Amino acid sequence: MPAMDPARRRLRLADAHISVLGLLVEEGEVPDELAQARAELRDAGILDADEKISADLYPLVSTLMEPHVIARVEMTGPQGVSTSGAVVGNDFVFAHEGWPGEEESEYVPVEPEMLVFALSRMVDLHKDNADDSDVGEEIVSTMGVLDAVLDRMESEGHEEHEAIAEAVGAPARLAEVLSHLNCMWRMTVAWPGGADVPDGLGVSALAVWDCGLEGYWVREAPAEPVREGQVDDSSELKVRRITAKEIWERITDLLPDQDQLLVDSAA
C-alpha cells in the first residue's frame, strides 16, 4: 500500500501509483486497470475526494514529470532482483529504493551533493580488504560458462566450486570467486545527450560483482551499457578485481557533467 510520511518527506509508491499521478497531472484518463492504484492513493490521503494531489507531493511529481538525469540500479541477490535509483529534476533530486518481493519503493529527497553517496548506499558499497596483490587480477571466460556456473551453484550449492568448474569447463578461479558471491548489480545513468549520440540519449553504466571475502569485481566485457541482443553465450566475459574506492570514483564518473546536459538544471 502507498504511504506518506510528511515528517521525513518520505513516500512509498509502486509504479502503478506513479502512473496514476502522472495521468492526473496531465489531466488524462485513468484506465480501469489503474483503478485500484487510484483508490489506494485516496485511502492513503495522497489524493483527496476531488482527486487533487496532496501539496506534499509537488517536489516528487514535478521531478518525475521532467527528469534531467535518471539513475537505475538493478541488484540481483539471493532474494531475487530489486530495483532502486534516483531522478534529478529542475529543483529537486529524489532517490528511491525497492525491497525484494515488494511492489512499492521508498522515495526520499536527496541533496545534489549527496547523490553519489545515495547511489553507493543502494549497492551497499563498503570498505574491502583488498591489498595491492589482489587488485587488478583478471578472469576471462564466456557468458555461457558464467551462466552454467551460476546455474550449477544454484542447484548444488557453492561449496564444491572446484567440482563445478570441472563439470562445466570453467576457470577454477571463476568458480572460486562466485562461490563467495553476495550479489551482482548494474547501475545505469541516462540523460538528454543531443544529436551527436545514439537516440539523442547519453548513457553510462557499470556492472559489479560483490563477492564478499573475494572483494569487488567489475565486469569489463561485455562492456556496459549492453544493448538488447548484443550478448549471447559466446560473448567474452572479463572481470577484474578493483577496490571500493575505485567503484566510488566510477559511480561519480557515471553522472554527466553540467555541460553534457541539454537542459540547465537551474532553469
pLDDT of residue 194: 57
Cell (9 digits) for 259: 555541460
Burial class (CB in 10 A: 0-12, 13-18, 19+), 107: buried
The answer to whether 260 and 202 are in contact (CB under 8 A) is yes
Q: Percent of the chain having pLDDT more than 70?
A: 92
pLDDT of residue 266: 40
**What is the number of other CB atoms lying within 10 angstroms of the CB of residue 119?**
24
Burial class (CB in 10 A: 0-12, 13-18, 19+), 117: middle
Q: Whose CA is closest to 180, among 204, 157, 163? A: 157
Tens digits of residue pLDDT in 91-114: 999 999 998 888 999 999 999 999
Q: Is 25 left (phi over 0), alpha (psi -120 to 50) or beta?
A: alpha
Phi–psi pair at 186, nearest 5 degrees: -130, 130
Q: Is 247 left (phi over 0), alpha (psi -120 to 50) or beta?
A: alpha
User: Averaged over 134-142, what is the pLDDT?
Assistant: 94
Residues contacting residue 14 through CB under 8 Å, at least 6 positions apart: 2, 37, 103, 104, 105
Q: 12 has which bridge partners?
A: 3, 106
Cell (9 digits) for 219: 565486469
Say how far apart CA 128 and CA 213 lie, in whole Å.
8
Indicate the DSSP class of residue 113. G
Q: What stretches of 43-199 adopt beta strand conformation (E)?
A: 69-77, 80-88, 93-98, 105-109, 138-142, 183-192
Name the average pLDDT for the chain: 89
Residue 92, classed as helix, strand or coil, is: coil
Task: For residue 259, name the pLDDT band (cuts at 50, 70, 90).
Answer: low
Tens digits of residue pLDDT in 176-209: 999 999 999 999 999 987 555 666 788 999 999 9
Overall pTM > 0.85: yes
Window from 43-52, 138-147, 252-261 with minimum mean pLDDT: 252-261
Q: Whose CA is closest to 188, among 202, 176, 198? A: 202
Residue 89, classed as helix, strand or coil, is: coil
Say how far apart CA 179 and CA 90 lie, in whole Å.
44
Cell (9 digits) for 83: 530495483
Residues contacting residue 257 through CB under 8 Å, at least 6 positions apart: none
Query: Is it the case that residue 148 has pLDDT exceeding 70?
Result: yes
Q: Whose CA is closest to 101, among 119, 124, 78? A: 78
Measure the CA angle with vertex 93, ends 189 and 16; round to 5°: 80
